[in-house]
Structure 1
Amino acid sequence: MNMNTDWSEFDIACMKRAIELAERGRGQVSPNPPVGCVLAQSGNIIAEGWHDHLGDLHAEQAAIADAEARGVATEGCTAYVTLEPCNHFGRTPPCTQALLWSGVGEVVVAARDPNPTVRGAGIQVLLDAGISVREGLLMEQAQIQMQSFMYWCEHKRPLVTLKAAMDANGVVDGESPGRFTSEESLDAAHRMRRHADAILVGVNTIIRDNPSLNIRRVPIGESNQPLRVVLDRTLRIPQNSKVLTDDGDTLLIHTQQDSRGVALPADGKGGADLNALLDHLGDRGTQELLVEGGPKVWKHFIEEKLVDRAIIIQSPNLLGEGPMSGLDDSLLIEAGLEMIEQKNWGEDVVTLWTRSNLPWPSGEWP
């Protein structure tokens, strides 16, 4: 094994391409991370692949299949892969075995598997088989790309992204329900949903808007709709709510002695214990949670300092009388967040916030 830092321009170009390919699986492969792979021979890329959707070929297997389809030999080639090849049977056979079968002569790994129970095992299998392994090429970029997976492996709970939208005066709901943000903001909201494993709202949002909380405005596989999580302390949710009557999965969180949903301890402030909630979601394998509303829920998460990222959308439209968002810069800063970007989605002004120890590269912004 070689922690090489003397990379050629071709090495770097190949791993950059592998990272680009990995993006194609974002939102489709959870609880697996997005992974890309490039096969190269004699200074040329001969095949490439990525993990496209859950249950499909892993990136290395897809690249080998691509080589077969192209009619090119893989014997002695170099595989550039963004994550250490797996060495266990799951939904697919081990990627290490696929690489050994293909006859690759070298494997270049961006990042080791963050799971401490398997970290290094895939690399060791390759080394034991006499395959040269180098690692660390564009490691930081690859780790950031897999950030929610890395976070879950370390903390066993999801990374929390909060999304809030308000009018020019900070009002979040006017006299009648309906959309008030730009089309660009709506598209971005659905891209955020595609990245999330679960979407959370309070029961007041369900009662007022009866939302579907699904992904509609961006492409997605049929089986990749996120889990809907509803905070409903006393189980007030109407039984004809869309989240209960459609085909999607919904989890009710309450504090009652009731068999419906999941009962969690109360937090002493009139709600469910959010730390217990995140632990429960982590146990379910939820790696990224999108908190969409409403203002009471936003405030609860922020006051508990449980928000890792925040996207604040302010529309120039005026909703009239209604509840205020309760969000301002000082509250977000006190919660440990810092603003990293201000941008426009149509006529809406959008600010992006994150914890200082959680990089959020512009390529991953919605």
Structure 2
Amino acid sequence: MSEWSEFDIRCMRLALEQGEKGCGKVSPNPPVGCVLASGGEIVASGWHDHLGGLHAEQAAIADAEERGLATHGSVAYVTLEPCNHHGRTPPCTEALLWAGVREVVLAAADPNPTVRGGGAEFLREAGITVRSGLLEDEARRQMAPFIHWCEQRRPLVTLKAAIDADGMVDSEDEEAGRFTSEASLTRVHELRRESDAVLVGVNTVIRDDPKLTVRLVPLEAGRQPLRIVLDHTLRTPPASRLVTDGQATLILHSDGDEQRASALASDSVEVLHMPPLQPTEPPGVELDQLLDLLGDRGLQRVLIEGGPDVWSRFLLAGLVDEAFIIRTDASIGPGPRAGIDAAVLTTAGLQCASNDSSMDDVIEHWLR
């Protein structure tokens, strides 16, 4: 096992910071960061910024070149094993060889079983020292959706719920509206940006007529998440924004008629019949079947935004991998209860990893 110096750790932490800049921008690729160091000094850094753009290693090498700094004999700190195949860009292993790197320090091996270890082996055969495992847990957390999809061939399921001081999620006496802070709303839009799909039940569509798009944080054109509606009998209103705004929407039903399906379908709206493989309670799309479908389509992270019935189904099935619970001191009056407390989350196999009270609301982060 390698012993890591303080400088090693410092460099890899910077590489992780660089990699964070790619979160929500590069799926289906993972977010990756790279730092080049020489003689105990950091020479350059880079990250994978967008699909088709330079990978992290290539970006770090380009950064050094732009500043007129030598890379020969340097050490590369990379959060993920360098790729050794031609895709949208040439292999990163070849870029590291070209740059004259003498050593590569990895946080995590490539989780894809078809290529795992290939990059490290190629570098070793070329005479480059390779060490791995530095801050591996942090790196795996950063690229959790990618790793989950590679290992499970299903998307990582993230649940988001906003709950008032009395455990309610909506007021039966008021029009639908937001009761959390602006900072919490911004965090929700960040979660949408980091997700490949946002899922709700049809009751949420009827009650809120939501957009479910990323609006409050920067987003590259064409990267809005897919909106998914679980709609057992196709009650989605044809005039709802999810149907009419031109953004991609998938409506899943198990017992809707063809006439309603035709009224909803368009170039941007796919209506898919998914009869359950076995009876579900309550009746509806079978969730395991749904996640297999999304995984087959290459979706790596799905954000479950509501409502209580949908949350309950995913939690009871043990299919939630992480949850963000936004709790506010506001009281919105009588209405549907969230049905989510510490006991429910713990029973679903989750543990509270952090509790952020720095904003007006408290945001709990639960992980499997």
Say if 1:50 and 1:63, in contact at 8 Å, map to a contact too: yes
Cα offset, 1:7, TM superposition: 2.2
Counterpart among 273, 276, 292 of residue 279 in structure 1: 292
Provide structure 1 residue ranges, at least 5 long, that are not aligned to the other structure. 356-366
Q: Return the letter of the residue paired with 1:89.
A: H
What do the CA deviations read for 1:166-223 (whole angstroms, capped 9, x no partner)? 2222222213111111112111211221221111101111111111101111222223
Q: Matched residues, percent identical?
A: 57
What is the match of residue 272 of structure 2?
Answer: 262
For 2:248, the aligned partner's letter is: D
Q: For residue 207 of structure 1, what is the aligned residue in structure 2? A: 206
Report matched runs for 1:151-170 at 5 Å.
Answer: 151-170=148-167
**TM-score of the pair, normalised by structure 2:** 0.90
Distance in 2 (CA, whole Å) between partners of 1:224 and 1:163 is 20
1:187 alignment counterpart: 186
- 2:29 maps to 32
Q: 1:246–1:120: structure 2 CA closer, same or farther, 3 Å change rule?
A: same
Alignment match, 1:87:
84
Aligned to 2:226: 227
Deviations 1:96-148 (A, max 9, x none): 11112222222221211011100011111112222222222222221222122
Provide the C-alpha distance between the structure 2 equivalents of 1:157 and 1:333, rounded to a whole number of angstroms.
Answer: 22
Change (3 A) 1:103 1:352: closer
Partner residue of 2:321?
308
CA contact (8 A) 2:2 2:131 kept: no
Moved over 3 A (4+): 256-260, 340-343
Q: State the 1:345 CA deviation.
A: 5.9
* SS of corresponding position for 1:47: strand
**Contact 1:151-1:158 within 8 A present in 2 as well:** yes
1:132 is matched with which residue: 129, 133, 158?
129
- 1:21 equivalenced with 2:18 (yes/no): yes
CA distance in 2 between counterparts of 1:212 and 1:307 reads 23
**Residues 287-326 of structure 1: pairs in structure 2 closer than 5 A:** 287-326=300-339
Q: Cα 1:39–1:349, aligned 2, differ >3 Å: closer, same or farther?
A: closer
- Displacement of 1:265 after TM fit? 2.7
Selected match of 2:344 from 331, 343, 353: 331
> Aligned with 1:127: secondary structure?
helix
| Separation (CA, whole Å) in 2 of partners of 1:101 and 1:346 | 47
Aligned to 1:41: 38
How far the C-alpha of 1:230 sits from its partner, in A, is: 0.8
Q: What's the offset of the Cα at 1:313?
A: 2.1
Partner of 1:69 in structure 2?
A: 66
Q: Which residue of 1 aligns with 2:52?
A: 55
Contact kept in structure 1, 2:275 and 2:285, CA below 8 Å: yes
CA contact (8 A) 1:184 1:345 kept: no
Q: Deviations over 1:25-82 (max 9, x none)?
A: 1111111111011111222211111001122110011111111111122222221111
8 A Cα contact 2:33 2:56, kept in partner: yes
Change (3 A) 1:178 1:87: same
Per the alignment, do residues 39 and 340 of structure 1 end up closer, same or farther by CA in structure 2, a change over 3 Å counting? closer
Structure 2: how far apart are the matches of 1:348 and 1:20? 26
* Alpha-carbon distance in 1 for matches of 2:47, 2:251: 35
Distance in 1 (CA, whole Å) between partners of 2:362 and 2:122 is 51
| 2:289 alignment partner AA | A
Paired residue total = 352
In structure 1, what is the Cα distance between the partners aligned to 2:355 and 2:77? 35
Q: Which amino acid is the alignment partner of residue 182 of structure 2?
A: E
**Matches of 1:144 and 1:341, distance apart in 2:** 14
Distance 2:176 2:106 in 1: 50
C-alpha spacing 1:139/1:334, structure 2 compared with 1 (3 Å): closer
| 8 A contact 1:233–1:253 mirrored in 2 | yes
CA shift, 1:338, in A, is: 2.5
The answer as to 2:103 corresponding to 1:103 is: no
Once residues 26 and 125 of structure 1 are traced to their aligned partners in structure 2, the CA distance between those partners, rounded to angstroms, is 27
Q: Name the aligned partner's letter for residue 15 of structure 1.
A: M
Describe the SS at the equivalent of 2:357: strand
CA RMSD of aligned residues (A): 1.8
Which residue in 2 is equivalent to 1:364? Answer: none
Taking the aligned partners of 1:12 and 1:70, their CA distance within structure 2 comes to 24
How far apart, CA to CA, are the structure 2 residues paired with 1:169 and 1:12? 44
1:262 Cα offset (Å): 2.5
Distance 1:98 1:349, change over 3 A: closer
Structure 2: 5+ residue stretches without partners? 262-269
Aligned with 1:216: secondary structure? Answer: coil
Which of 3, 8, 13 is the aligned partner of 2:5?
A: 8
